[in-house]
Amino acid sequence: MTFRVLVVFGVLYTAQCTAHSFPPSFKFGAATSAYQIEGAWNVSGKGLNIWDTFTHDSRNSVVDRSSGDIACDSYHLWRKDVDLATELGLQFYRFSISWSRLLPTPFRNEIDEDGAAYYNNLINELLKRNIEPVITLYHYDLPQALQDFGGWLNPLIADWFASYAKVAYSLYADRVKTWLTINEPSILCDYIYNTGKLPPMIYEPMLAPYLCNKNVLLAHAKAWRIYDEEYKPIYKGRVSIANNPVWIEPASPEYENLAELAREFGAGRYSHPIYSQKGGWPPSVERHMAELSKKQGYPESRLPAFSIEEIELIRGTYDYYGLNHYTSRVIRSRQPGEQIGPWIFYGCPELDAVLETPKSWPTTDADDVVMYPEGIRRQLEWLHQKYGNITFLITENGCASRGDDNDEDRIAFIKSYLEQVSIAIKEGINVEGYTVWSLMDNFEWLFGYKTKYGLYKVDFNDPQRRRTPRASAHFYANIIKARNTDVPTSQTPKRQEYHNHSNARSLHINILLLILFWLSVK
């Protein structure tokens, strides 16, 4: 009798512990970026950025010929954005600062008072609602004046960025405790220069991606060290960079070594210099690029070397790992005569390899995104194995749709990916939070307003940019309240009703467990 009761007790306890739940310290958030939501492109003293120039001069490049001139008009409607975050029950809201809005020239000689006040107001209102502001310093919108000097290919960009970061810290570090320096450097460097499709619309795949890669790492490191030396002792905050590796698996077991090299080529080039104990480029990538460059007739590697001083400058410049994750691929060697698409979604010419998506992986409405939830867990496991017991913050994850109201894919996406994050936590990986992209529909770069990532639908024909919750907003709010993915997908219960129901259910379970335990010792 006692043995049977103990078995039942164990089954019930295990069922509770193995649910896709999240610890009390785990935080839920959502994200946006400045150019995609703010609008007010020429308000007050704001300077031009490369997306202002691109959408005005090359409007045909955007599918609906749109721009971020008005977007969600968050510059004027920021209180509505905070209302959405409050309605969801977010613990944090990630947004970015527009460099050209804060520093119009874009150097430290002039701070735009209206621009600075906009971010001050947003930060203060978030804190008033008990929502933590998480700031990204750079999200694709380089000041046009700096691009005219060469942008991320000019080595001086590291000092320019560090100077801008210091201004932002001086204005907001007393209230903002979590920072990201640069969003998705592999898009910024690899995708842009390997395709030429995004501003500054330069196609140069041989040298530009790697020079940009190095300069981004130096810019991040200098900004991190300014905070670490001048602001962290006072405000106790933290700074990181938001990497977005595509998880890569072998198409068959014979390609495992190729897949591992591709992971180092993608995630490693932007992580190893920062997070590894020795610093510098991943050794396998450094060797491969040196050999490949020699075969191609270059006198030295196309991957620019770090000096000893640069290695030490970059190494260890993190307080956590910011991980944007959307999709995965499988890799195989190129077949004779086969064309290779550009890195990072279609192929890797440097490795003479093709990237593919298996037919068994469901597709979403978003270009280049397929659902492979295990990919986020395996990426976390790989980074954990490579760099040790570091803290992870999922800084972006989400699913797009082309229709206004079709939200089933997004709900399935969020649920399945969060379940994999929960599994990773139970494996001992320190994941402290999760961020949905995006809080609301916005200007999605080349896809304009056709592609919709928002938990909230935005009516871009309405002068007030009316925001309406989708089913996914209700679903995500339920997850946040329950701290579990096993929640209703259609309707948001009232907060107090849900709280009472949850307490009652927990009370019943606890009473049952206590009775069973009492019987077991009788």
498: in domain = no
**Contact status, residue 9 vs residue 78, Cβ threshold 8 Å:** no
Q: Report whether the peptide linkage leading into residue 106 is cis, meaning its omega lies within 30 degrees of zero.
A: yes
Distances (CA, A) of 478 to 90, 471, 473: 11, 11, 9
**Contact status, residue 152 vs residue 189, Cβ threshold 8 Å:** yes
pLDDT at 362: 86
Element (H, E) at 179: strand 178-183
| CATH code, domain with 186 | 3.20.20.80
pLDDT at 488: 85
52: in domain = yes
518: in domain = no
Name the 3-class secondary structure at 133: strand
In the sheet that holds 247-250, the strands lie side by side as: 247-250, 328-333, 353-356, 347-348
pLDDT at 493: 35
Q: Which residues of the chain have pLDDT under 50?
A: 1-18, 492-522
324: in domain = yes
514: in domain = no
Long-range contacts formed by 232-238: CB under 8 A, 24+ apart: 234/173, 235/173, 235/174, 235/177, 236/177, 237/173, 237/176, 237/177, 237/178, 237/179, 238/177, 238/178, 238/179, 238/319, 238/320
Amino acid at 83: D
Instruction: Determine the structural domain holding residue 57 and report its residue range.
Output: 20-485
CB atoms within 10 A of CB 419: 18
* Residue 280 CA from chain centroid, whole number: 23
294: in domain = yes
CB atoms within 10 A of CB 445: 22
14: in domain = no
The total of structural domains in the chain comes to 1
Rounded distance between C-alpha atoms, residue 265 and residue 259, angstroms = 10
Rounded distance between C-alpha atoms, residue 269 and residue 505, angstroms = 48
Instruction: State the catalytic residues.
Output: 184, 396
**Contact status, residue 228 vs residue 320, Cβ threshold 8 Å:** no
Pick from 126, 143, 131: which is nearest to 89 by CA?
131
Three-class SS string for 356-397? ECCCCCCECCCCCCECCCHHHHHHHHHHHHHHCCCCEEEEEE
